[in-house]
Amino acid sequence: MNNAAFFIMCFVIAGSTGTLGQSQQYKLGRPATPEEIRELDISVAPDGAGLPKGSGTVTQGRHDYQILCANCHGDRGQGVTPYPALVGGRGTLRSKNPVRTVGSYWPYATTVWDYVHRTMPYPRPGSLTPDETYAVTAFILYLNRIVDEKAELNEATLPRVKMPNRDGFVGDPRPDVRTKN
């Protein structure tokens, strides 16, 4: 590599480390108001950032689940083909037939809340209130023996739920495959 190419490479690397250098302002786009942001921002982080205030119990969730979820996921979360099971699979991840469910595989309880809130029930995505979402999430976690029957989940307790496979993820080591030639 000649000097010029080396300097270009350094420049490219320096430019891609996540900081913005001098940037041109085009004065396009309008400021987003706090109301506009609140209306659209539904994201939930593993540490609970973004969770709305609300709560739901296993008992309430059992009721809501039977109305909203059981038709596709079965009355005990066993799944009704082609819709996935929500329970089971603990201890199968290194077997020949791993069963990846919320209980056996998903690393964060906040992900369950976020996914239910965004996408469920399947024909009417996004129609659940925060309280319904906390309740259904509580019942699904109860079915997986992750929370007990008396549990109530809210924006403070949900991020503290430790999922069984929380430590089951590793970074991407690729390129990982050795080729002969």
Partner 1 sequence: MKKRGLTRRSFLTTASATLGAAAIPSASSQELGAPRRAYGERSPFEKSARFFPESITPASSYSRTPLQDLFGIITPSALHYEVHHSGVPEIDPRSHEVMIHGLVEQPLIFTMEDLHRLPSISRIHFLECAGNSGGEQIGRPAINPQRSHGLLSCSEWTGVPLRILLEQAGLKPGAIWVVAEGADAGRMARSIPLEKALDDVLVAYGQNGEALRPEQGYPVRLIVPGWEGNTNIKWLRRVQVVDQPYMTAYETGHYTDLMPDGTARQFTFVMEAKSVITRPAGDQRLSGTGFYEITGLAWSGRGRITKAEVSTDGGKSWQDAQLNEPILPKALTRFRLPWRWDGKETSLQSRCTDETGYLQPTREELVAVRGLNATDHYNGIKIWYVHTEGSVSRE
Write out the residues near partner 1 by the rule CB under 8 A.
Answer: 15-20, 23-26, 28-32, 36-37, 40-47, 49, 82, 93-94, 96, 98, 100, 102, 105-108, 110-111, 114-115, 118-119, 122, 125-126, 165, 168-181
Nearer to partner 1, 4 or 177 (CB): 177
Min dist CB 110 to partner 1, Å, is: 7
Terminal Cα-to-Cα distance of the chain (whole angstroms)? 25
Residue environment code for 116-152, b if the CB has 16+ CB neighbours within 10 A, otherwise e: bbeebbeeeeeebebbbbbbbbbbbbbbbebbeeebb
Min dist CB 3 to partner 1, Å, is: 21
Nearer to partner 1, 48 or 54 (CB): 48
Token pair 């430590």 in the structure block, residue: 167
Min dist CB 145 to partner 1, Å, is: 18
Phi then psi for residue 143, to 5 deg, are -60, -30
Asked if 86 and 101 count as a contact pair (C-beta separation under 8 A), the reply is yes
Nearer to partner 1, 124 or 150 (CB): 124
Min dist CB 113 to partner 1, Å, is: 10
Identify which of 154, 129, 143 has the alpha carbon closest to the alpha carbon of residue 66.
143
Min dist CB 150 to partner 1, Å, is: 27
Nearer to partner 1, 57 or 110 (CB): 110
Min dist CB 66 to partner 1, Å, is: 21
Residues 6+ apart with CB under 8 A from 36: none
Nearer to partner 1, 31 or 148 (CB): 31
Asked if 149 and 166 count as a contact pair (C-beta separation under 8 A), the reply is no
Nearer to partner 1, 6 or 122 (CB): 122
**How far are the Cα atoms of 17, 27, 29, 143 from residue 24, in angstroms, in the given order?**
19, 9, 14, 54
